[in-house]
Amino acid sequence: MNAVITGASKGIGKAIADQLFSKGINISICSRNMDDLIALKQELISNYTHHPKIHLFQADVSKKDQVLSYADDIKAQLGTVDILINNAGIFIPGSLEDEADGALEAMIDTNLYSAYHLTRALLPEMKAAGSGHIFNMCSVASIKAYPNGGSYAISKFALLGFSKCLREELKPTNIKVTSILPGATWSNSWAGVELPEDRLMQASDIAEIVWSALSMSPSAVMEEIIIRPQLGDL
């Protein structure tokens, strides 16, 4: 079984890569930083006695040409994709009035277009295989705007819309589509913030959700999953 995870070198993507690799699934992981990918590969190999394939690819997924190059490399290295995790994303805080010029474009390119282009590139082979599962890493910001969320919320609302459309279109194909909407989850982006770590969810919590969705019978699909810190949103 083959899985693709974008933005896999840190945070939620890294936790999902660890989860799937631990289950014996071949993984293709991408990031903008090859050193981070190599470090993750070494970590996974040292942590487990079984060694599925680990395919590394350096890409800035906000760039369409790099996304399509990644898709071509996936097909050459792994073949048909069984699990696609569209996880890559960025957050630039600010209000719509005051955020930096270009913030919307940067977050749409990374948070939406990367998933759109990679999914479209890999779908023909998935449809030919008659199976597969696509996960789109949305956010609680996909359903509720919040102060200083600005264009991030716009991009995540759009990603959820993409995911909903994909779900409807792929119903007859036996390909599942799941939207995951996490609240605040611990990652490097929270480093230095004066909050107790236990106030946030762990990236491993999201990885467990992915595995739970994958473990369901062929006749069932988790369409949308909202997961928040026990004490609520920050």
pLDDT tens digits for 162-201? Answer: 999 999 999 999 999 999 999 988 776 665 667 777 788 9
Domains, the chain, ordered by start:
2-227 (3.40.50.720)
pLDDT of residue 189: 62
In this structure, what token pair is assigned to residue 59? 């890409």
pLDDT in tens, 39-66: 999 999 999 988 899 999 999 999 999 9
Rounded to an integer, the average pLDDT of 93-121 is 96
pLDDT of residue 192: 61
Percent of the chain with pLDDT over 70: 97
What ranges in 27-138 are assigned the alpha helix state H? 34-47, 64-77, 103-108, 114-129
Residues 6 or more apart in contact with residue 211 via CB below 8 angstroms: 19, 20, 23
pLDDT in tens, 215-225: 999 999 999 99
What predicted TM-score, i.e. pTM, was given to this entire model? 0.94
Contact 141, 156 (CB under 8 A): yes
In DSSP terms, which residues pair with 134 in a beta bridge? 84, 177
What amino acid positions are annotated as catalytic residues? 152
Biggest CA-to-CA distance, the chain: 52
pLDDT of residue 146: 87
Angle subtended at Cα 18 by Cα 158 and Cα 152, rounded to the nearest 5 degrees: 20
